[in-house]
């Protein structure tokens, strides 16, 4: 039996690069950090494997604003792609005792590029303005992988989320949710 946990933090800076009718296109750089653990009960030497990664990449996004029955709405599609980075990955039989106590850490950090770790993250988001709040539906697909001489790692996930965005407390004058979706 295998257990996998993975956490991704990414920060992207986007600038509008083009407008085609009602569709806006954005692009920019992105920094991405991944922390995860794989626990394999069949691996007696090293059942828990820590996965760390840091990547620099790019992002692109297309956004369209429209109305559904006089309700302001916005739909965006975002694509994130890591270009270069580094991952912490011990060799298959290498234990953490060897790495941290005996200082046998050669080959535990690997360079990652699209040639040995092609990864993509796709995010589809729809926002509907309802009074002073926004109802958000998000669909995310993440395909993250890398290959080294001794290891291959791949995680593919699919997430669906629903939520509401609203102001609960504001020091500055409160903006309406409709100000978030100008027309």
Residue among 30, 47, 4 nearest 121 (CA)? 30
pTM of the model: 0.74
Q: How much is the pLDDT for 36?
A: 81
Please check the confidence at residue 156 and state whether its pLDDT lies above 50: yes
pLDDT of residue 168: 67
Cα dihedral 15, 127, 130, 179, rounded to 10, equals 0
Pair 59, 79: CB distance under 8 Å: yes
Q: What is the domain partition of the chain in residue ranges?
A: 2-180
pLDDT tens digits, one per residue of 67-113: 988 888 999 999 998 889 888 777 666 666 666 667 666 777 778 88
Question: Any idea what the Cα angle at residue 123 is, between residues 120 and 129, rounded to 5°?
Answer: 170
Q: Quick one: pLDDT band at residue 179, thresholds 50, 70, 90?
A: low
Nearest to 80 by CA among 162, 137, 11, 178: 11
Give the confidence band of 183 by pLDDT, cuts at 50, 70, 90.
Answer: very low
Confidence band of 34 (pLDDT split at 50, 70, 90): confident
The CA distance from 46 to 97, in Å, is: 10
Q: Which of 127, 137, 130, 140 is nearest to 65 (CA)?
A: 127
């Amino acid at each position: 039996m295998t257990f996998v946990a993975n956490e991704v933090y990414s920060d992207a800076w986007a600038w509008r690069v083009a407008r085609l009718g009602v569709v806006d296109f954005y692009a920019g750089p992105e920094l991405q950090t991944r922390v995860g653990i794989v626990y394999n009960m069949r691996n007696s030497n090293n059942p828990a494997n820590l996965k760390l990664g840091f990547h620099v990449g790019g992002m692109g996004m297309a956004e369209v604003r429209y109305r559904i029955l006089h309700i302001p709405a916005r739909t965006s599609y975002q694509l994130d792609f890591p270009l270069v980075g580094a991952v912490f990955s011990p060799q298959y039989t290498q234990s953490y005792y060897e790495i941290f106590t005996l200082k046998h850490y050669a080959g535990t950090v690997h360079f990652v590029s699209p040639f040995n770790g092609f990864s993509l993250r796709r995010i589809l988001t729809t926002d509907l303005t309802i009074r002073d709040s926004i109802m958000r539906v998000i669909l995310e697909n993440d395909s993250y992988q890398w290959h080294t001489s001794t290891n291959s790692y791949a995680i593919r996930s699919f997430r669906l989320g629903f939520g509401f965005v609203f102001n609960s407390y504001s020091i500055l004058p409160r903006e309406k949710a409709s100000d978030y979706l100008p027309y």
